[in-house]
Structure 1
Amino acid sequence: MGKFKEIFQNRNFTKLFLANFTSQLGSTIGLTAFMFYLLDRFTDQPAYATITELMFSLPTLAVFFIVGVLADRMDRQKIAYYCDWISALLSLSLIITIYIGWMPLIFVVLFLRSAVLKFFFPAENGIVQGILKEDNYTTAAGLNQLVGSLFMLFGNGLGIFAYWSVGIYGALIVDFLSFIGSALLIRACKIEREVRLPNGEHRLKDLKFKMILEDFKIGFLYMMKHKLLKNLMIGFIVFGVVNGGFSVMPVFILKYKLAPETYEELSIVIGIVFGVGVLIGSFVASLLSQKLKLYQLINIGLLLTGSIIITASLPNNITVFMIVLFFAALGLPFVNVGIGGWLPSIIDPKMMGRVQGLMNPLMMLAQSLTLGFITVSFPTILSIEMIYWLVGGCLVLVGIFYMITLPKLTNAEEQIKNSTLQESSAAR
């Protein structure tokens, strides 16, 4: 508890944490309500729900080459602030397009809003890295995981409740207000200039196309030369496959296998079961992160969760399925806390935006390809059980890969860091 108290004494972190929470709350309610709106209105066209998820992931591929460069060259606080405001306006636009009822226009607005949000997280991650001490990175990652588990616990329920009580328009108004609240919290932060502008001050007119490509190239070479980052990048591709599958798996298995008539109500229960598992796993992961090496924490989570997800394809009884899913959820926070606490400590603050800007598109590309594959192959070629086999198998494979590679690379990284510290001490 001492670590949590210490980190919240940092007022900037507290405001950023609340801003992230507020933004996620509205986005979760809005996106979940919209998903069920589509499933309710177009019950014979499950592809619409998958396309909605694609509109969340595909924009990354359109802006990935500039996202990280802007986060490293421009004012990170202003980027996060304006992203929230623009997203709020696009939420209002989504209300209008749903009222019009033309699906292509609805998906265009979803695409644009998602594209804007891609600029938010590299900027925010860079700020958090700069305002915290290195020994607080894992604590911050644990807090973010706790928030994520709360959204898993209550997110679907809140989204469905909003859809039932105030309709799709009311849910999107909550989405709109959440972005406004997040923007105001970010504006209230007092961030040092070195954190906001790690590479000095630049203006948009300074960012010529040639400069953007050169910065992107520098970030790419930085990752390729950093062996530990390069191996983690391979894992991020697999995580994209997992995210793509998980975004539709619970709803699909309920609607098309376990509970076709009551899938909406039971999806709330599924969300609660999964969220409780992740919440408990988050506490356990936070405790174990103080006793285990972070790569050990990651490996345990990958192998445990992957194996259980494969098993989750077998039950034909909803109760048994929920029990299996609960145990799968226990291991996920191990991976998220491990990676979230590890990356800020090994990435140069001046390169944080570009590294995030490169890793996220790789994950989103894999997520988009997975969703696209599910769209065209489910249920004609790919059964719901096969989706679980695909996702669980990917986690197990990357867990085995990390077991082989990460211990050696971690030792090499520690030796380089110790050598650098010794040289700095000798220079003084």
Structure 2
Amino acid sequence: MKEIFGNKTFVKLFFASVTSQMGSTIGNMAFAFYLLEHFASQPYLATLAELMYSLPTLAVFLVVGVMADRLDRKKIAEYSDWIRAGLTVLLFLSVMSNILWIIFALLFLRSAVSKFFFPAEAGLIQGILTKEQYQTAGGLNQMVFSIFMLFGVGLGAVIYTVLGIYWALVIDGISFIVSGLLIRYCSIHKEARLPNGESNWKELGFKQTLADFSKGGKYILSNKLLLNLLLGFFLFGFINGGFAVLPLFTMKYKLAPDNYEWYASLFALCFGVGIFIGSAISTVVGKKLKPHTMLIGGILITGIATVGMGLSDSIWLYLSFVWLTGFMIAPINVSIAGWIPRIVEPSYMGRVNGWSDPIMMLAQSISLGIIALLFPTVITSVDYIYYGVAALMGIVGVFYWLTLPRLSGLVHEEKPAILEVQA
């Protein structure tokens, strides 16, 4: 941990990611509360808002990974922040006018731009850390994610309740500006920013983009371990779609309809505490366990905890299962975050993300679409959504159990990482 934080470039990138994600979490949750309060009889609007965060992946997947591998990763991440800050200003004005279709269009565009940030940032991280530091960085990122869960939803609820949707959007915009400034002042080697050498926009025509995207697909197909992981990611997308709306729907329509904002914040608190503790333990234990052991065990136990959430009629029993779910999701994410960079060559990291993200988001969008269409007319209880999510977790866990142990030795022996040069 000390070695990672001794790397000034990593520290700046880390806090750039933190500020960007924290602001987005607050803004997104505040917007969800806004929709549920003003359109309580139309729960599909909250689901549609979540779709605006996932569908853009399917619109830009062809170019996202290719750009992260062919163009300057630092500039891509930085400009992504600037553009999102500008779109947040427009979103602020649109909420004032209360024209829903413009609001949803801007949410779509802002999310589409964000899809360029993370592959570029992940590629930069891979270029400034050694292979031995990947899992520690993965555990650290999960601990930060848990802090978002601890405070993001709660702050979103508090800011929306006390200050309103406009201040939530102001914080959103400021977070992107801070993130962009941190990235701008990073000093990163050219080899980490441009792993495939110099390119320009003219070279990234449709044919070249399609050819690079196809190379990413062929690279995945040639690596059986990576291929099997990504097949599981498709089902993860359905799971993510369910969990994107379940906390708010559970509190609003089942356990606490009169005080759902407060209990939705408690959901985030319990889930975040679980992930924080689980991430801290997984970072240490992960050095002794094989990644597939942590991954499979975490998925199967999380599936059991999800069934428990669906069966719970008491808020506190429900929150206990929420904590267990967060605790077991941590080793899942830590193992994946530490494993993928070891499997993938640095020059292909963007193109692999260009395939993995749309695979998950396609499934997530289908899941959210089904929920928007069927809840609460056909799917009359949120419990059934929990059972469906748990069943999918069981399928992924068994699939990984049958495939990953025998493939776990197929780890790419990567080239030495590009370390930063201190100014």
Runs of 4+ with deviation above 3 angstroms = none
Cα distance in 1 for residues equivalent to 2:384 and 2:329: 20
SS of corresponding position for 2:164:
helix
Contact 2:308 2:318 in 1 (8 A): no
**Structure 2: stretches of 5+ with no match in the other structure:** 417-423
Cα distance in 1 for residues equivalent to 2:413 and 2:151: 42
Residue 142 of structure 1 is matched in structure 2 by: 139
Paired AA for residue 17 in structure 1 = F
- 1:204-215 matched pairs, under 5 angstroms: 204-215=201-212
Contact 1:302 1:395 in 2 (8 A): yes
Aligned-pair CA distance for 1:304: 0.7
1:417–1:134 CA distance, 2 compared to 1 (3 A): closer
Paired AA for residue 5 in structure 1 = K
Paired AA for residue 177 in structure 1 = I
Residue 407 of structure 2 is matched in structure 1 by: 409
SS of corresponding position for 1:330:
helix
Aligned-residue RMSD, C-alpha: 1.3
Aligned-pair CA distance for 1:417: 4.6
Residue 333 of structure 2 is matched in structure 1 by: 336
Matched, 1:281 2:281: no
Cα distance in 1 for residues equivalent to 2:10 and 2:26: 24
- Segment drifting more, 362-371 vs 164-173: 164-173
Cα distance in 1 for residues equivalent to 2:357 and 2:290: 24
**Structure 1: stretches of 5+ with no match in the other structure:** 422-428
Cα distance in 2 for residues equivalent to 1:282 and 1:226: 28
Cα distance in 1 for residues equivalent to 2:56 and 2:17: 20
Residue 426 of structure 1 is matched in structure 2 by: none
Residue 424 of structure 1 is matched in structure 2 by: none
Tell me which of 227, 231, 234 is aligned to 1:230: 227
Paired AA for residue 135 in structure 2 = T
Structure 1 residues 79-114: Cα deviation after superposition (integer angstroms, max 9, x where no partner) = 000000000000111001111111011100000000
Residue 157 of structure 2 is matched in structure 1 by: 160
Paired AA for residue 124 in structure 1 = E
Aligned-pair CA distance for 1:139: 0.3
Residue 421 of structure 2 is matched in structure 1 by: none
Contact 1:307 1:393 in 2 (8 A): no
- Segment drifting more, 135-144 vs 390-399: 390-399
1:417–1:172 CA distance, 2 compared to 1 (3 A): closer
Residue 386 of structure 1 is matched in structure 2 by: 384
Residue 36 of structure 1 is matched in structure 2 by: 33
Cα distance in 2 for residues equivalent to 1:371 and 1:97: 24
Contact 2:53 2:107 in 1 (8 A): yes
Cα distance in 2 for residues equivalent to 1:317 and 1:311: 11
Residue 96 of structure 2 is matched in structure 1 by: 99
Residue 367 of structure 1 is matched in structure 2 by: 364
Aligned-pair CA distance for 1:236: 0.7
- Segment drifting more, 261-270 vs 80-89: 261-270
Aligned-pair CA distance for 1:315: 1.4
Residue 318 of structure 1 is matched in structure 2 by: 315
Residue 113 of structure 2 is matched in structure 1 by: 116
Paired AA for residue 284 in structure 1 = I
- 1:164-243 matched pairs, under 5 angstroms: 164-243=161-240
Residue 262 of structure 2 is matched in structure 1 by: 265
Cα distance in 2 for residues equivalent to 1:306 and 1:16: 33
Cα distance in 2 for residues equivalent to 1:146 and 1:9: 18
Paired AA for residue 16 in structure 2 = A
SS of corresponding position for 1:312:
helix
Tell me which of 367, 370, 377 is aligned to 2:374: 377
SS of corresponding position for 1:380:
coil
Contact 1:303 1:396 in 2 (8 A): yes
Aligned-pair CA distance for 1:410: 1.1
Contact 2:5 2:11 in 1 (8 A): yes
Residue 398 of structure 1 is matched in structure 2 by: 396
Tell me which of 349, 353, 359 is aligned to 1:352: 349
Paired AA for residue 188 in structure 2 = I
- Segment drifting more, 135-144 vs 158-167: 158-167
TM-score w.r.t. length of structure 2: 0.96
Tell me which of 72, 75, 85 is aligned to 1:75: 72
Aligned-pair CA distance for 1:316: 1.0
Aligned-pair CA distance for 1:153: 1.0
Residue 20 of structure 1 is matched in structure 2 by: 17
Contact 1:288 1:297 in 2 (8 A): no
Cα distance in 1 for residues equivalent to 2:317 and 2:216: 47
Cα distance in 2 for residues equivalent to 1:104 and 1:203: 35
- Segment drifting more, 37-46 vs 263-272: 263-272
Cα distance in 2 for residues equivalent to 1:312 and 1:138: 30
Paired AA for residue 368 in structure 2 = L
**Identity of matched residues, %:** 50
Structure 1 residues 181-239: Cα deviation after superposition (integer angstroms, max 9, x where no partner) = 00000011111001100111111122111110111111111111110111001111111
Residue 132 of structure 1 is matched in structure 2 by: 129
Tell me which of 54, 59, 82 is aligned to 1:85: 82
Paired AA for residue 93 in structure 1 = L
Paired AA for residue 385 in structure 2 = I
TM-score w.r.t. length of structure 1: 0.95
Contact 1:153 1:272 in 2 (8 A): yes
SS of corresponding position for 1:248:
helix
Aligned-pair CA distance for 1:386: 0.9
Structure 1 residues 11-39: Cα deviation after superposition (integer angstroms, max 9, x where no partner) = 11000000000001110111111110111
Residue 425 of structure 1 is matched in structure 2 by: none
Aligned-pair CA distance for 1:9: 0.4
Cα distance in 2 for residues equivalent to 1:72 and 1:297: 30
- Segment drifting more, 244-253 vs 322-331: 322-331
Residue 247 of structure 2 is matched in structure 1 by: 250
Paired AA for residue 173 in structure 1 = V
